[in-house]
C-alpha cells in the first residue's frame, strides 16, 4: 500500500501542448517525457456500492502489464488530494476479487458479494509522464508530472480527459502547490479534485457527483485561527467543486452558489481584525474583489433575466480560459497552508488568533450589530446597501458557526439577515424600499439580535 498525494488540474488541449514546452518543467525534467497508452476498466456493483463507500476499483492495461488498483477513501482539500492506493500485477486482464480482502478492503463493504462487481465504464487516455526534481531549501523534491489526454466512456456517452496531474514522490506537499501556482501564473490551470472515476460515475448517473463537502468541525473551544482556516478551506474547496460542475452542466443555481462562496470567504477575511493584518491579506482581497466585481452583478442581473442566465455558461468558460481563476485558487491554497495571515502579527494579534471562538465570536457579532444601526435604516432604507459588507460579515459567521453560540433563535436570525442582504442588493423602487424597511424591523426585533446588541 502506498499513500498518493497529488493535485489535478483541468487544462485545454492548447495548454497541454504549452506545458510540454514550459521552461520551468524543462529545467526540472530529469527523465524526459515518456508516452504510454493506458486502458482502464472500472468496476462496481449495479447499486454502485463502491462509489458510495468512496472506493475506486479498476483494471489498467499499461503496455504488456495488467494492474489491478484499489483506491480507498481519502481527503481532498481545495484540489490537493491524499488517499490510500493498493496495486497488484495480474497475469491477465481479469479482476481478481481474492486480492480485495484484509486491510485494503473497507469495513463498510465487508458484507458485499464481490461476485456482483461488474464493468461500469472505461477511461482510456494517452499519458506523457516525466519526473521533475529540484532542491527546495535543504530538502529534495521529486514530483511526477503527467499530461493526460483521452476520454471517459460510458456506453454511448463520452467526456474528454485533458489534465495535468502532479503527484508527490518525495518532499513537502506544499511543493505541489508551489509548482502548480508557478505554472498557473501564465497558463489557465483549473484545480479540480474530481477523479477520472468520479467523471465516469457522473456520466453513468448525472446526480452521482456530490457537491457538498464535509462541514468543518468547529466548537466554542476552537481557536479563531483554526476556525478561520477550516472555514476558508471549506469555502475554497466548495467553490472549486461548484466551478467544475457549473462548467459541466451550466445549472444557474451552481453559479449563484459559487459567487456566494467567494463572497463569504471575502467576508470572513475582513472580519479578523488584528488576527489578520491588512498587509497579509492584501493580495487575496484584491483577487477576490476582482472576481466578485465581475460576477456578482451578472448573477444579480440573471435573477430576473433569462437571457443573462442562458449566456452565463459561455462567459464562465471564458473565465476558465483565463489564468485568473486557477491562479487565485492555487495561491489561496498556498496562503492557507502556510497560514500567512499569522506570520507577522503583533502580540495582540497573536492573542486574538489564539482566542476561543466561543468568546471571540459574540464580541465580533455584538460590535458589528451595534455599528449596523438598524434603527437608522428603518427610516432611511435607501442607504441600506452601504452596509452590505457588515451584513455579510455577520451573515457568514452565522452561516457556518452559529452553533457555537448559546443564543436562542440564531437560525431564524440567519434567515432574516439573508433576506435583508437580498433586499439591499435589489434596485431601489417604492416597493423595495418598503420591503427593506419591514425587513430591518424584523431583524431588529429578533430576540437573538437584541442579545447580540448587549454583547
User: Where along the chain do its domains lie?
Assistant: 1-210, 356-453
Give the helix/strand (H/E) hosting 190.
Answer: strand 190-191
Instruction: Give the pLDDT of residue 262.
Output: 98
User: Helices 278-302 and 323-338 meet at what angle, rounded to 10?
Assistant: 140
Please classify residue 432 by burial: count the beta carbons closer than 10 Å to its beta carbon, then call 0-12 exposed, 13-18 middle and 19+ buried: middle
Separation between Cα atoms, residue 13 and residue 18, nearest integer Å: 9
Please say whether the beta carbons of 275 and 245 come within 8 A. no
Which residue, among 210, 214, 215, has the nearest Cα to 400 in the 3D structure?
215
Indicate the average pLDDT of the chain: 93
Cβ atoms of residues 209 and 194 within 8 Å: yes
Q: Is the dihedral of CA 26, 29, 31, 35 positive or negative?
A: negative
- Tell me how many helices (H) and strands (E) the chain has: 17, 10
pLDDT in tens, 341-356: 999 899 999 999 999 9
Distance CA(227)–CA(267), nearest Å, equals: 14
Angle of helix 224-249 versus helix 323-338 axis, rounded to 10 = 160
pLDDT classification of 455: cutoffs 50, 70, 90: confident
Res 158: pLDDT? 94
User: Residue 197: CB partners within 8 Å, gap ≥ 6?
Assistant: 42, 51, 56, 58, 71, 123
> Could you tell me if 49 and 65 are in contact, meaning their C-beta atoms sit under 8 angstroms apart?
no
- CA distances 94 to 61, 63, 118, 243, Å, are 11, 16, 11, 37
What is the structure's pLDDT at 4? 75
- Which string of DSSP letters, residue by residue, matches 127-177? EEEEEEEEEETTEEEEEEEEEEEEEEEETTEEEEEEEEEEEEEES-THHHH
All three cell numbers of 112, joined, read: 458485499
Mean pLDDT of 388-397: 96
Strand partners, 87: 69
Q: Are strands 118-136 and 139-154 parallel, antiparallel or unpaired?
A: antiparallel
pLDDT at 84: 82
Class of domain 1-210: mainly beta
Q: What is the mean pLDDT of residues 215-241?
A: 95
Average pLDDT over residues 3-23: 93
Q: What is the pLDDT of residue 336?
A: 95
Strands 34-44 and 118-136: antiparallel
Cell numbers for 386: 452601504
| Dihedral sign, Cα of residue 403, residue 407, residue 408, residue 413 | negative
Per residue in 86-128, pLDDT (tens digit) is: 999 999 999 999 999 888 898 889 899 999 999 999 999 999 9
Examine the pLDDT at 77 and tell me if it is beyond 90. no
pLDDT in tens, 130-179: 999 999 988 999 999 999 999 999 999 999 999 999 999 999 989 999 99
Q: What is the pLDDT of residue 451?
A: 94
Mean pLDDT of 307-316: 98
Residue 111: alpha-carbon gap to chain centroid? 33
What pLDDT sits at residue 378? Answer: 87
Residue 226 to residue 3: CA distance in whole angstroms: 26
The three three-digit cell numbers of residue 213, written as one number: 463537502
Q: What would the grid cell of residue 106 be?
A: 473497507
The predicted model gives 25-45 an average pLDDT of 95
Q: Taking a C-beta distance cutoff of 8 angstroms, is the pair 446, 410 a contact?
A: no
Q: What is the pLDDT of residue 195?
A: 84
Q: What is the DSSP letter of 33?
A: -
Bridge partners (DSSP) of residue 7 are: 80, 166
Residue 274: partners with Cβ closer than 8 Å, 6 or more residues away: 345, 346, 348, 349, 352
DSSP conformation class of 388? H
The residues that bridge with 75 in the sheet, in sequence order, are 82
Q: What is the pTM of this model?
A: 0.91
Alpha helices in 185-277 (DSSP H): 196-204, 224-249, 252-269
Q: In this prediction, what percent of the chain has a pLDDT beyond 70?
A: 97
Contact in structure between 85 and 71 (CB atoms under 8 Å) = yes
pLDDT number for residue 307: 98
Is residue 200 helix, strand or coil? helix
Would you place residue 209 in the very low, low, confident or very high pLDDT band (cuts 50, 70, 90)?
confident
Report pLDDT for 211. 79
Amino acid at each position: 500500500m502506498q499513500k498518493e498525494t497529488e493535485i489535478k488540474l483541468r487544462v485545454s488541449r492548447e495548454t497541454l501542448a504549452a506545458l510540454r514546452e514550459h521552461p520551468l518543467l524543462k529545467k526540472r525534467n530529469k527523465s524526459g517525457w515518456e508516452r504510454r497508452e493506458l486502458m482502464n476498466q472500472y468496476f462496481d456493483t449495479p447499486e454502485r456500492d463502491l462509489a458510495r463507500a468512496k472506493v475506486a476499483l479498476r483494471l489498467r492495461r499499461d503496455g504488456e502489464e495488467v494492474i489491478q488498483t484499489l483506491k480507498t477513501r481519502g481527503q481532498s482539500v481545495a484540489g490537493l488530494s491524499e488517499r490510500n492506493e493498493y496495486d497488484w500485477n495480474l497475469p491477465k486482464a481479469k479482476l481478481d476479487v481474492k486480492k480485495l480482502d484484509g486491510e485494503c478492503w473497507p469495513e463498510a463493504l465487508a458484507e458485499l458479494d464481490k461476485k456482483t462487481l461488474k464493468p461500469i465504464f472505461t477511461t482510456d487516455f494517452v499519458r506523457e509522464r516525466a519526473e521533475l526534481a529540484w532542491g527546495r531549501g535543504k530538502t529534495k523534491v521529486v514530483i511526477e508530472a503527467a499530461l493526460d489526454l483521452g476520454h471517459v466512456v460510458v456506453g454511448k456517452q463520452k467526456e474528454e480527459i485533458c489534465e495535468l496531474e502532479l503527484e508527490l514522490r518525495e518532499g513537502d506537499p506544499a511543493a505541489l502547490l508551489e509548482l502548480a501556482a508557478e505554472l498557473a501564473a501564465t497558463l489557465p490551470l483549473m484545480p479540480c479534485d474530481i477523479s477520472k472515476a468520479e467523471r465516469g460515475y457522473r456520466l453513468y448517473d448525472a446526480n452521482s457527483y456530490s457537491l457538498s463537502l464535509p462541514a468543518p468541525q468547529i466548537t466554542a473551544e476552537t481557536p479563531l485561527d483554526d476556525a478561520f482556516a477550516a472555514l476558508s478551506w471549506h469555502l475554497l474547496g466548495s467553490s472549486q467543486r461548484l466551478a467544475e460542475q457549473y462548467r459541466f452542466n451550466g445549472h444557474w443555481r451552481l453559479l449563484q452558489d459559487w459567487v456566494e462562496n467567494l463572497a463569504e470567504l471575502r467576508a470572513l477575511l475582513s472580519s479578523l481584525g488584528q488576527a489578520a493584518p491588512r498587509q497579509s491579506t492584501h493580495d487575496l482581497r484584491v483577487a477576490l474583489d476582482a472576481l466578485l466585481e465581475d460576477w456578482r452583478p451578472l448573477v444579480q442581473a440573471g435573477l430576473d433575466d433569462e437571457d443573462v442566465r442562458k449566456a452565463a455558461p459561455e462567459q464562465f468558460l471564458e473565465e476558465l480560459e483565463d489564468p485568473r481563476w486557477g491562479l487565485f485558487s492555487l495561491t489561496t491554497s498556498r496562503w492557507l497552508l502556510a497560514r500567512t495571515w499569522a506570520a507577522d502579527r503583533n502580540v495582540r494579534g497573536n492573542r486574538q488568533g489564539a482566542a476561543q471562538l466561543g468568546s471571540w465570536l459574540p464580541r465580533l457579532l455584538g460590535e458589528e450589530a451595534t455599528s449596523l444601526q438598524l434603527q437608522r435604516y428603518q427610516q432611511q432604507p435607501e442607504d441600506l446597501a452601504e452596509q452590505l459588507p457588515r451584513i455579510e460579515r455577520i451573515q457568514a459567521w452565522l452561516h457556518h458557526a452559529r452553533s457555537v453560540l448559546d443564543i436562542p433563535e440564531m437560525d431564524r436570525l440567519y434567515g432574516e439577515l439573508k433576506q435583508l442582504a437580498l433586499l439591499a442588493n435589489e434596485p431601489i423602487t417604492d416597493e423595495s424600499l418598503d420591503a427593506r424597511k419591514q425587513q430591518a424591523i424584523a431583524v431588529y426585533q429578533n430576540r437573538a439580535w437584541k442579545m447580540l446588541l448587549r454583547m
